[in-house]
Amino acid sequence: MTGNHADAAPEEGMKTPATRAARWVAVAVALALILPTACSRDRRAAPAGDPCSRLDLSLLDQATVGAYAEAAAGLRARLAEIEGRVFHACDGMNAQLALPRPRNTYDACATFRAHVDEARATGAQISLQVSRSCTIDGAARDRCQATCQLDGCNAAACPDRAPCRDACAAVAEADVQCSTETVAVTNDVDAELEDAITLNADEWGALESLVAELQPTVTELGPPLLAYSQTADVIGKDEQDCYQNALGDLGVALISFDAARDGLASLPPLFSPASH
């Protein structure tokens, strides 16, 4: 849905998730060239298929790479779904308002945002009040952590297990679920725009809540993922390939996140304190 989103460049000096995403993708390409020269358990060609499925999860280093990869893949899939929903919300309101209907998220939501900004420029007041309650997938976290060799260990006693544990926390966050109540608050808004906003308020509030909940995970997973490659004792062929997949998935997830957050900016919410 992002389409030619790269045409929308951030203001100079701004560091957006999209610019971070570009860096992760660049790093993934660099690692594709660098990692094959590293030490490996097995230099033979690996069979075709998902390299992450061939990891030996009884080994902590491979379990950690697998947990990072699962988290990155989960975030990529979830944020692609969210971005798609943001696009359809903007596109639906554009159709309802007889506005142009671009076919990518950035432009579709920019079209709607321009209409909202025009209304605000004439004195209209438009906001959304959102209350949310969100829960993570504890079962997915526990299943993932079963490979992290945490029995009898806490974070202080077993620092080598911390990356695996933290990656499993991101696995759980990728499937966060939010229940929301959203109220559109408008004043001096024409009937057509008010109807469009009111009709989509619940979906908009749900998407705002999910993006807000996922932001810390998707934007903060990259540094420890990169740092782990510098501390792992041995990186074998399947670990290399799985690790590179994780970097690529995280880069795509960040791009979808940026498109969704940018699209939702046309109706910034007023959040009540979240409960978990």
Predicted local confidence at residue 240, as pLDDT: 86
Predicted local confidence at residue 46, as pLDDT: 41
Number of independent structural domains in the chain: 1
What would the pLDDT profile of 156-197 be if each residue is shown by its tens digit?
678 888 899 999 999 999 999 999 999 999 999 999 999 999
Give the H/E segment covering residue 219: helix 191-220
Predicted local confidence at residue 271, as pLDDT: 77
- C-alpha to C-alpha distances, 3 to 122, 208, 266, nearest whole angstrom: 32, 21, 19
What does DSSP say about strands 177-187 and 269-271: parallel, antiparallel, or unpaired?
A: unpaired
Residue 168 lies in a domain: yes
Read off the pTM.
Answer: 0.82
Q: Pull the structure tokens for residue 229.
A: 């490659």
What residue numbers bound the domain in which 77 lies?
17-32+56-271
Q: pLDDT > 90: what percent of the chain?
A: 63
Query: Which residues of the chain are modeled with pLDDT < 70?
Result: 1-48, 154-156, 232-235, 273-276
Residue 261 lies in a domain: yes
Predicted local confidence at residue 238, as pLDDT: 86
Residue 149 lies in a domain: yes
